[in-house]
Chain A
Amino acid sequence: MDVDFLHKMVEEACSMGASYADIRLQELEASGISVKNGSMEEASVSRRRGVGVRVLLEGAWGFSSTEVVREEEVRRAVANALKMAKTSLGARRRKAGLAEVPIRRVSLSSKVAENPVHVDPGEKAGLVLELEKLMRSRSPAVKDTHAFYGDVLDRRVFVSSEGGEVVVEKTRVRFAAYVVASENGALSPAYEAVGGVKGFELMRGEEPYKAAESAAERAVRLLKARTPKGGLAVAVLDNKLLALIVHEAFGHCAEADLVLSGDVLTGKLGQRVASELVTIVDDPGPEHAYGWTPYDDEGVEGRKVVIVEEGILKGYMHSRETAAEMGAEPTGNARAQDYSFAPIVRMRNTYMEPGDWKPEEIIAETREGYYLKGALGGQADTNGEFMFAVQEAWRIERGELTEAYRGVAVSGSALEVLSSVDAVGRDFKIGFPGTCGKGQAAPVDGGGPHIRCRIMVGGAR
């Protein structure tokens, strides 16, 4: 569909009464290979495209999307969006507005060494079969294996009635390894994933092999592990678990739409919310991170947001609407899952800055506690309370790792946990691809160093 036609449509929306209009045209081309238990399960390809139209009419939003990308249907979507806005006119108490931003006309693509679209599907399948075989080869105790490869080419064209035109093309590649080990009636699951805004070169490197081996070895290693006695404990968290806590338990609370609804960080700008060792950032880059967002879905150039600096709350993440409401600068955090959703405030790549401890020193100088590694997902509330499942836990006694545990979960209040941080490692790592859910799915990344804190540890038999 011609970009000039999109410009014409936003002008038409404004001529029909909208004070602002934007259109997002998106095309997605994806492929996936799934291998389970030694057998090629399925290969898939998909092509999707659609258009989302957003209009602002007397301070009320209307949104309409269609998967039928023909001129008459897009024109109908524009009319529908206006109709939607009119239906909510009387229902709004506050009028929505938009903070001013520089209007951009830009086109950019992620840097990819090997475009996965051009890789023969047979070669992709062969590689995934090899990785799955590697998982099974680690031990006879490995019983259930699933290796999955997926790539997606995501092209988004944003056009606004202010004259903005932003085209961003991203290629993402992801590999996931899932293993269940079983022995004498005991079952132990493990999971690893690698990915990024990268091409097929990711699959030709060591990372997928390490992920496959790591998942298989952990599943087997934890077969005989016990679960720990629960309670508040000193814990050293690895980069991956820290990434999840920083994102889920803390980061969401710094999203301005949730701040406006009254979360645990509302009204706390300039106040201490964490230990002085803690600095937390949400970043549109680095370029190959899974959540790379150089421009958001409002056509706003992404900028780095320092959320917490040395323990002090410094800023929130914004869309144009929340920035207008709070008198702040837009940060490029308005993201939409796809054309069928309107953009909302989302994180991108969120991490804790490194400190000066060597990770091994943190463990060596811990008399009694746990070393908690990896995460299997979890949940958090806007009051900062969280719960996460941990992949693997080790008992620390007099600075040494003594016993492995499984079935471990951690919980607590993000502010309390971050305030208890007394050691931050120098080992910075980012590259834990994930899909964040907030009513819409968004690819995100995160990371940080090893840290030590106090956290509630729970287990299960």
Chain B
Amino acid sequence: MSLVEEVARYALKLGAEEAFAALSRARVYRAEIESDEIARVSSAVVERLSIAVIKDRRIATATVNDVDRDTAMRCAERAYRLALAVKPNENWRGLPEPKPLPAVEGLFDRRIELLGAEEVVDMAKHLLDAAREVSGKVSLVSAGVEAAVAETEVFSTAGAHGLQRTTTFGANAIAVAKEAGVVGSFSFASDASRSLDVDVEQIAQEAASKALESLRLKPAPTFKGTLLLDRDFAAEVFLSLAQAYSGYNVWSGSSPLAGKLNEQVSSELLTVVDDGTLPGGLRSSSFDGEGSPTLRKTVIERGTLRTYINNTFTARLLGMQPTGNADDLLSVAPSNTVVQAGDMSLEEMVGGVERGLFVSRFSGMIRFQDGVISGTAKQAFYVERGERKYPVGECMVSCNLYDLIRNISGLGREQWRTSYGVYTPVVRAENVTFVGKA
């Protein structure tokens, strides 16, 4: 009997009606760069057990690390004592019944498992050198390369059991350019993957090039026009949208998408899939945070809202089926958010713009509750009559999330992986307000 099964069954012996246990172990190597220097190299061993116990609809969770059999059992006892002390969750209807779990490909790469600290440092050196080669004006404020191997096992007293081994390799860089006393804006670049296919030099080059572009910024004019969202900005927008189609937010009344199933909520160009089974996906797994099988489902199909994402708890509240989106027994989270690519090249997308802004980074708020998108465009280019004119600084972008997705006028034909678990093309949208200083 595995430790998670043993601890969950022990909770039943204590008097709990249901229990769900999760044990995760990880080994991480990390090389960190600060101020153009390999600042430190580190290794970490992570080991964590959590157990949720339910008694008379009272739900309590206890977490502990440094796990052995004794600490695990004491953890269950603490959770049970807490459950006895608190108030019931009147909406609780029980743990999900077990279902067969899908086999998800591409989540473990033996090459990452075999990486040692030396190789991780070598890759950090390559990243640093690649940034230096772009220009002497560029500094890496911080950057890092990380390789992780993890194992997660879950067990529910309703019968669900899952075991998953994963690897992750990621790199990121934050660069800044300086020239004649002028300091440009931060520029970010990052990538992460389950496989050893992240190009660290490309990340450095991208961050460095964007940092250079942020020197000699011109003030932007104030106008209403077209917004071109580069992949990271688009990823932020779609992550916020995912909160709006989260079953919990729909049920609680904080999502404007409540009551809009099978209604047109966006441009017909937009199709969004939540796919927990995506091969090699950063948020892929064969089971979710309650041990239910993950699924691929189309959330928005050519502009029409087809479903919400749910765990068993929220699915029952809404009278729907769970979609394998349990973050835990009570919370919902998107898996991989896949935005279907369009048919336009970047040149075609820019070429069709009368007046607009191409924004690589957005510093601001994107609020799903009322749709407010308000913030500053970073690494942004002013576009006029189909041409990228000049990089702009201190320009505020204002629009509404739900208007933005209705006003999508084009999607790039290339789909990009982002380190947020969002896979998206470049997005073009109309009728956005820009407030500049020119």
Contact = CB atoms under 8 A, between A and B. Distances in A.
B253 A61 contact: no
B393 to A, nearest CB: 8
B222 interface: yes
Given A42-B330, A45-B63, A125 B86 contact: yes
The 8 closest A-B pairs by CB, nearest first: A458-B396, A230-B435, A46-B63, A63-B42, A144-B254, A143-B253, A84-B41, A261-B35
A434 to B, nearest CB: 16
B86 A262 contact: no
A125 B365 contact: no
B184 A383 contact: yes
A262 B125 contact: no
B245 interface: no
Contact of A409 (B35, B394, B396): B396
A94 B33 CA distance: 13
Contacts of A43: 58-61, 82-83, 85-86
Interface stretch (B43-51, B287-295, B382-390): B43-51
Interface string A375-392: 011111111011101000
Interface stretch (B8-16, B87-95, B278-286, B297-305): B87-95
Q: Which of A36, A40, A50, A182 has the most CB of B within 10 A?
A: A40
Contacts of B253: 143-144, 180, 182
Interface stretch (B99-107, B200-208, B343-351, B372-380): B372-380
B254 A143 contact: yes
A62 B34 contact: no
Nearest to A56: B40
A189 B367 contact: yes
Given A37-B252, A87-B117, A385 B376 contact: yes
Contacts of B63: 44-48
Interface of A: 33, 36-37, 39-50, 54, 60-70, 73, 77, 80-81, 83-85, 87-88, 91-94, 120-122, 125-126, 129, 143-144, 180, 182, 185-189, 227, 230-232, 257-258, 260-264, 266, 340, 342, 344, 376-383, 385-387, 389, 406-409, 411-413, 439, 456, 458-461
B357 interface: no
Contact of A460 (B31, B46, B60, B373): B373
Interface string B118-149: 10010011001000000000011110000000
A379 B31 CA distance: 25
Contact of B370 (A73, A92, A186, A411): A186
A371 B83 CA distance: 46
B398 interface: yes
A51 to B, nearest CB: 10
B221 interface: no
A47 B49 CA distance: 10
Contact of A67 (B43, B45, B87): B45
A382 B35 CA distance: 12
Contact of A383 (B40, B44, B176): B176
B374 A407 contact: yes
B352 interface: no
Nearest to B60: A43
B66 A49 contact: yes
A232 B438 CA distance: 11
A456 B364 CA distance: 13
Contacts of B262: none
Nearest to A219: B369
B64 to A, nearest CB: 5
Given A406-B370, A407-B370, A456-B435, 14 more contacts: A41-B59, A45-B62, A62-B40, A93-B36, A120-B85, A122-B87, A125-B85, A182-B254, A262-B183, A379-B364, A407-B367, A409-B374, A460-B372, A461-B399
B437 A382 contact: no
A342 B44 CA distance: 11
A442 to B, nearest CB: 15
Given A44-B62, A50-B65, A381-B185, A187 B42 contact: no
Given A45-B78, A84-B40, A231 B60 contact: no
Nearest to A253: B183
A91 B38 contact: yes
A79 to B, nearest CB: 10
A403 B31 CA distance: 52
Contacts of A81: 42-43
Nearest to B65: A67
Contacts of A413: 394
A127 B142 CA distance: 43
B61 A230 contact: no
A405 B36 CA distance: 44
A121 B80 CA distance: 12
20 contacts: A41-B330, A44-B61, A60-B38, A61-B40, A122-B87, A144-B249, A182-B254, A187-B256, A189-B369, A262-B176, A263-B176, A377-B365, A379-B363, A381-B186, A383-B176, A389-B367, A456-B394, A459-B374, A460-B373, A460-B399
A12 B61 CA distance: 39
B199 interface: no
A46 B375 contact: no
A42 B178 contact: no
Contacts of B435: 230-231, 456, 458
Contacts of B398: 227, 230, 409, 458-461
Interface in B368-422: 369-370, 372-376, 378, 393-394, 396, 398-400, 403
B86 A33 contact: yes
B193 to A, nearest CB: 20
Contacts of B369: 144, 180, 187-189
Contacts of B139: 261-262
Nearest to A341: B42
B17 interface: no
Contacts of B142: 261, 439
Contacts of B363: 378-381, 385-387
B69 to A, nearest CB: 14
A439 B75 CA distance: 30
Q: Which of A186, A231, A413 has the most CB of B within 10 A?
A: A231
B327 to A, nearest CB: 12
B307 to A, nearest CB: 21
